[in-house]
Structure formats: C-alpha cells, structure tokens
Amino acid sequence: MTRTLIAQPLTKQAFAPFGDVIEKAGAEKIAINRGNCIRHHALSVADVKGEGSQVGINIFAGKPYALPHTLDMVERHPLGSQSFHPLGDDPWLVIVCSDDDGKPVDPIVFMAGSDQGVNLNPNTWHGVLTPLYNQTDFLVVDRIGEGNNLEEYFFEKAYSVELS
C-alpha cells in the first residue's frame, strides 16, 4: 500500500504553523524612493541561536525532482530558521511535517509558485529543497555558525508525492 500525498496550494494561513510565506500578497506596503519602489516589509525575520552565529545569504542550485516524488526522509535545523526563495520561473514543492515527541508526523505538501518563498521556523521538519521541471537557483537565508544544526529522519515507509 503506497502512502500518497497530494500537493495543496501554499498559503500564509495553511503554512503558519511551520513558518512564513514570503510573498507580496497581504504584505505591509511602504512607498519609498519618491514612490518608485514599494517595500513589502518584514515578510519574515531570520531567527538564529547560539553564540557567534550569523545570518548568512547563500544560493542553492537544485536539480529538479521527478513526479511522483518519493519522500523517504525529512530534516530539521534546531539552531535556526531557513528561508528559500526561487530565482527561476517554475513552481516548487515545500514539504513539512509536524513533530510528535521528536519524530516527524503528518507530512503536508505545498505547491509554491515561482513568486513565493518560505522561511521555515527553527526545528521544523521539512523535505529537501524540491524544484520541479528545471534546475533552479534559490536564495537561502540561514544560520552560519558552529554546532550541529542538522537532524535527519528516514521514514520506515516512503510517501509518494503527487500534484493531484
């Protein structure tokens, strides 16, 4: 028996338990630069822990994943948030889980538009970066610092992720 997960649209409301959606819709808007620019303000904030830790800016270059996608593991970063914003034109998948006493449960798959990023709260179980269709670069804002900031969990039985 395959366990199937169907992607749902990424919305601020549905994603709220896991972090922030980084998008213009619904943002606080501030006109700057003599009206030539609209600042969509503080869509999320970085949250890093541990002495000497910093907020770094990185580019992740990700190969696309085929569909249906086999989800056999998730990971989390206890010491910091991690944001992803696509620099390409394709939709992508955001996969998150709730936590039950240290184990990831109830995976949810969100279909994100090319104009949507996310910032995962610290210690939130999530699937690896999952571009679709084309190799895609993502701007990533996360913690730079010492200490173990990665926990992985392999499911006994994989999930099959489908779009519909």
In the complex, minimum distance from the CB of residue 1 to its own copies, in angstroms, rounded to a whole number: 26
CA dist 8 and 162 (Å) reads: 10
Encoded amino acid at 76, one letter:
R
Phi, psi of 6 (to 5 degrees): -105, 130
* Window contacting its own copies (CB under 8 A); options: 1-9, 11-19, 38-46, 93-101: 38-46
In the complex, minimum distance from the CB of residue 141 to its own copies, in angstroms, rounded to a whole number: 6
CA dist 60 and 134 (Å) reads: 14
CA 155, 134, 139, 6 dihedral sign is negative
Between 23 and 101, CB nearer to its own copies: 23
DSSP secondary structure letters along 96-118: EEEEETTEEEEEEEEEE-TT-EE
Phi, psi of 33 (to 5 degrees): 55, 50
Regarding 11 and contact with its own copies (CB under 8 A), the answer is: no
Between 47 and 162, CB nearer to its own copies: 47
* Choice from 10, 22, 74, 96 touching its own copies (CB under 8 A): 22
Between 33 and 164, CB nearer to its own copies: 33
Binding residues for its own copies restricted to 90-149, rule: CB under 8 A = 115, 117, 119, 128-129, 137, 139-141, 144
156: alpha, beta or left? (left if phi > 0; alpha if psi -120 to 50) = alpha
Binding stretches for its own copies (CB under 8 A): 22-24, 27, 32-33, 36-46, 54-63, 65, 83, 85, 87, 115, 117, 119, 128-129, 137, 139-141, 144
